[in-house]
Structure 1
Amino acid sequence: MESVNITISAGAFLAILAVLVLFRAKNSKYEVRPTDIVVAVLPIVLFLLVTGKIQKFEFGEFKIESAFVKASTSSIASQVTPLRGLPSEPVRIDPKLGVAEIPHLIERKTEGLLFRLGHGGYWGPAIEEYLVSLVKYPFLRYSITV
């Protein structure tokens, strides 16, 4: 697995460098500089840092350490407060049926109107009548499409 990661990293570097050289060949005004090579190396270095293959990368003043690799293996139980119950409220959801059901939805104070994709029983003017009738009331808050 480690040799595969190194092969992928080296291949990515060579591919990026090849693109830069090809760009230079097509456009004589463009010159491949050391900064371009650094740009080609950065994705590989980040990949190697994340996988834990290298711990530190320094280039002059530029320094990257893989502290997040150590942090990802440490326990976070002391940093997390477990939730007691769900931080939510139940919502009354009813499906959109025929327009004759609108008074029943108002009576039940439906908070969410459920539409099912592919149902095929929806008609534009009926949906409009549903929405015009129900948005007059403060309890309708959601239109849910599944």
Structure 2
Amino acid sequence: MRSPGQEPEGWQGPVAVRPRRPAAAGGVRPVLLRWWAAVLAVGVTVATMIEPVPNGPHAADSTPAWIGVIGDVTLILLFTAFVALLAGRRWGLGAATYASAGLVTLSALCPTSGHHDVAAWWFGQLAISVGLFFGSLALRSRASTPARP
């Protein structure tokens, strides 16, 4: 038996435990991911707000169903990216890249489907969508590079 106050050999005391945080590689920190979530939210909101009313009462009826599917998938990806980026998860950049590619596709297809006419708003919406795409792509490629010691 050991006497009080004596510890067994090799025992070094309690070990401090640090809480796990999302790993950030290549200089992409969780705070930057949260900022990009805010940029995505503002960009999508502005791009949606500048879009005018569709051409005529039957413009939505003439839009092909596959464009609606692209829109639905894009919205799901945007929501997923937003939640993941707010949580500081790097994989949210992949969802943001695909979602913004969907925005670019929808912006490009809008006038070709007869839903809207090309006007100044279209160039603004396309510029915002392309900016979100290339920003997400740049952050995604930066996050996939190994961190420097």
Q: Decide: shared fold, TM above 0.5.
A: no
The normalised TM-score by structure 1 is: 0.28
- Structure whose residues are more often helix by fraction: 2
The structure whose Rg is larger is: 1
- Given the two structures, how large is their TM-score scaled by the length of structure 2? 0.27
Answer 1 or 2: higher relative contact order, Cα 8 Å, separation at least 6: 2
Please state which structure has a larger fraction of its residues in strand.
1
